Structure 1
């Protein structure tokens, strides 16, 4: 069979395939161009609203790939490929992947919520998911905490969002709650004066709100006083540790005893 015969037999079909392929390619290129533009507009809009950079990049890329996928389907149809079976296969594959990645999808959804609503930020000290520490980073699937003894804990985001989140850094001030027990024989008024003097002497303790010093309980072996000064959040632990030490030293100097739990046992000898 010569070339002319082959051209006469397969030429029209080849031309039709070439035209369909060129049309499909044009649809994909136009769709790609539109997806890039819309994705860029989405990213700019989110940046103006001060969205988190991680969430911003994810949403813009998601918009791009969704639009590109929507473009590919009509392109395949234009090329003469049956898309119904392709869509069914993609749906079945998506269902299988979704079932296999339930835990990962739950972490992903929780990560989006954490980034969007910001119950904690990088640098905050929090308790969440059974762990506590300073937030080092927040990703779409996990949150990394640095503990007080410098251990790195990777907590799944779903575990964080499934329970309470205690953020110790978000508020500008914190209250130190101390309970100081003195013996029943000690001078109660003097003990309160000492606590008041120590709190007034530390410049890191706020004047407003005022420090609350009062008798909280007449316990079995001690009179319990509460001492509740307010400090800046960053000064919480240094002031707490210093105040406890100063109270002990001042009580020793002033003869205020701090009793320890004890029990008196009486023996009765039968006649």
Structure 2
């Protein structure tokens, strides 16, 4: 009798048993993975809607949503691996070693994650605030796990890593409801300084956006190039940019009409 026939039958039976046993497990694991991803997507969307309904801070919502999404998917992967019949102690040992290696390789990302946690905990700014940090300025559009998205006034999108951002100097222009507008104009010597100040005060009195308190100031400073005239007025933060830009134009027109020569006009910041 041909022994190769019996070997083939034995191998076929072994392969059939293997595919029946592990094929079924693999199929169930894949179904569990697909169903789990669908459930996670629904859970994350539900939690996001609940956070909106309960008025959770818009700066915090994307961060919590991302953390929840990652955590649930990690649990799902563990459940799928368990369904395949692997020893979880071995899996955890491998995951621990891999986590250590990945942690060492991604120290910068971990620092950015920690920076994101600090930003959300300390709240130096929120979504929508106009800030200046890391050499850029713009409105905070989104606070992610690893970076913060800034939209500049000229509609550029800038991604700033949270690690350096959390440890740097941050200027937030929207914390206070009122802010001071500073306008500086340099005029030549020989001009009527009293008249120049009087013209600026008249412009201040005509602008309803300027608040009476703290009182507006118009002061001068002598320099080698001429006389600096500093105009300092307080207004609601949304009006500061408009006042700054308008006053440069109005002062120039008033000075030209009264034969006061301007040596240099310096744009004041911020002009948001």
Q: Are 1:120 and 2:120 matched, yes or no?
A: no
Work out which of the two has the higher radius of gyration on C-alpha atoms and give 1 or 2.
1
Instruction: Tell me, yes or no, if the aligned pair for 2:138 and 2:151 is still in contact at 8 Å.
Output: yes
Count residues with an aligned counterpart: 216
Aligned to 2:62: 54
> What's the CA shift for 1:182?
2.5
Distance in 2 (CA, whole Å) between partners of 1:157 and 1:207 is 40
Is the partner of 2:196 in helix, strand or coil? helix
1:187 correspondence with 2:195: no
Matched, 1:172 2:177: yes
Tell me by how many angstroms 1:94 deviates.
1.5
Whether 1:222 and 2:222 are equivalent positions in the alignment is no
1:139 aligns with 2:144: yes
Aligned equivalents of 2:125, 2:107: Cα separation in 1: 25
Structure 1 residue 69 displacement after superposition: 11
The Cα shift of 1:59 comes to: 6.0
Unaligned runs of 5+ in 2: 1-46, 265-272
1:96-126, CA deviations, whole angstroms, 9 ceiling, x for partnerless residues?
1111221221111111222222211121111
Structure 1 unmatched ranges of 5 or more: 1-42, 261-271
Alpha carbons 2:216, 2:233 under 8 Å: kept? yes
Identify if the C-alpha distance between structure 1 residues 90 and 63 changes in structure 2 by more than 3 Å, giving closer, same or farther: closer
Give deviations 1:178-220, integer Å, cap 9, x for gaps: 22223322222111111111111111111111111112x2112
1:116-143 Cα offsets, whole Å, 9 max, x none, are 2221112111112232211111111111
Match of 2:239 in 1: 235
The structural deviation recorded for 1:60 is 5.7
Normalised TM-score (structure 2)? 0.66
The alignment status of 1:154 with 2:171, answered yes or no, reads no
Deviations along 1:150-177, whole A, 9 cap, x unmatched?
1111222123113111111222122111
SS of residue matched to 1:259: strand
TM-score between the two structures when normalised by the length of structure 1: 0.67
The answer (yes or no) to whether the contact 1:142–1:155 under 8 Å persists in 2 is: yes
RMSD, aligned CA = 3.4
- Distance in 1, matches of 2:72 and 2:142, equals 26
Separation in 1, partners of 2:186, 2:134: 35
**Is the Cα contact below 8 Å between 2:134 and 2:168 reproduced in 1?**
yes
Instruction: Give the equivalent residue in structure 2 for 1:258.
Output: 262
Other structure's SS at 1:105 match = helix
2:183 and 2:247 in contact (8 A); partners too: no
- Contact 1:136 1:146 (8 Å CA) reproduced: yes
- What is the distance in 2 between the residues matched to 1:133 and 1:63? 32
Q: CA deviation at 1:91?
A: 2.4
